[in-house]
Homo-oligomer: A and B are copies of this chain.
Amino acid sequence: MASSDPASNPVSKIVTACVLIIGNEILSGRTQDANLAFLAQGLNEAGIRVREARVIPDDHDVIVRTVNEVRGVFDYVFTTGGIGPTHDDITAQCVADAFGVLLGVHPQARRLLESHYPPGHLNEARLRMAMVPDGAVLLPNPISRAPGFQIGNVFVLPGVPSIMQGIFEQLKYRLAGGDKVLSRSVSCQLAEGTLAKDLAALQDRYPDVEIGSYPYFRRGDFGVTLVLRGTGRERLAAATEELKALVRRLGGDPQEGLSEG
């Protein structure tokens, strides 16, 4: 990827993230994940690029090993899922084990839960939602009860999309991002095979702009959407103009789309 090669753009600062989606229900196909696309877009707004995502089961050893592998490779790690009150919610314990620290009740999280439940309803299971690894910082939850938490470069979020989004919207302002990736897109009804040779030559001339080609088939219509992404607004604009000219030269009618992240 030319655009992520510092040598091609020595002044750019690239900050990376990995998303870990934890949950048997995603791996069984029962539930369609919606959190990756949301986090990818939200993180890019903050200047952080999701470079990998993994979907892993509710399995202690797999979670511990994966957290430790990716937190050493990426600037940030965001996990979703497995922080509720039931027996299959094991993410907090696994993250504590990955960092080699104890899991304990966080006093502030306990107070949040005490104020949420009627007297007598904060049972042992619910109190699990106040347990975080030693040294973790709570992530406020504006939607419901239990907070997420951060330890080191790992941010632990719930799996229910609306709650995950509520927590993320509050935490994103304190993430230290780098250059934001800008994008533009051009669609046309030429076939990919017609465009491919000239498109490759254009990519070669713009190593700092990543050009992706995505065929579509919808409403009996077919065509291709070409997405240009990069951190330099002027270079992106120049590549987009060259691309539109290229499409016209090959007999197509380039339609510029809205930036879609």
Contact = CB atoms under 8 A, between A and B. Distances in A.
A29 to B, nearest CB: 3
Which of A50, A212, A217 has most B Cβ within 10 Å? A212
A200 B85 CA distance: 10
A25 interface: yes
A194 B85 CA distance: 9
Contact of A213 (B84, B181, B212): B84
Contacts of A211: 87-88
Q: How many A residues touch the partner, as a band?
A: 35 or more
Nearest to A61: B1
B1 A58 contact: yes
Interface in A203-226: 203, 210-215, 217
A31 interface: yes
A96 interface: no
A44 B25 CA distance: 13
A29 B36 contact: yes
Interface in A98-148: 121, 123-126, 128
A151 interface: no
Interface in A185-215: 192-197, 199-200, 203, 210-215
Which of A25, A41, A196, A211 has most B Cβ within 10 Å? A196
A197 B124 contact: yes
A203 B86 CA distance: 11
A197 B87 CA distance: 8
A251 to B, nearest CB: 14
Contacts of A62: 52
A250 B99 CA distance: 38
Interface in A39-92: 39-41, 44, 49-59, 62, 84-89
A194 to B, nearest CB: 8
A212 B27 CA distance: 12
A92 B179 CA distance: 31
Interface of A: 1, 4, 23-34, 36-41, 44, 49-59, 62, 84-89, 121, 123-126, 128, 160, 162, 181, 183, 192-197, 199-200, 203, 210-215, 217, 227, 229, 260-261
Given A24-B212, A53-B54, 5 more contacts: A26-B37, A28-B229, A52-B62, A86-B200, A88-B203
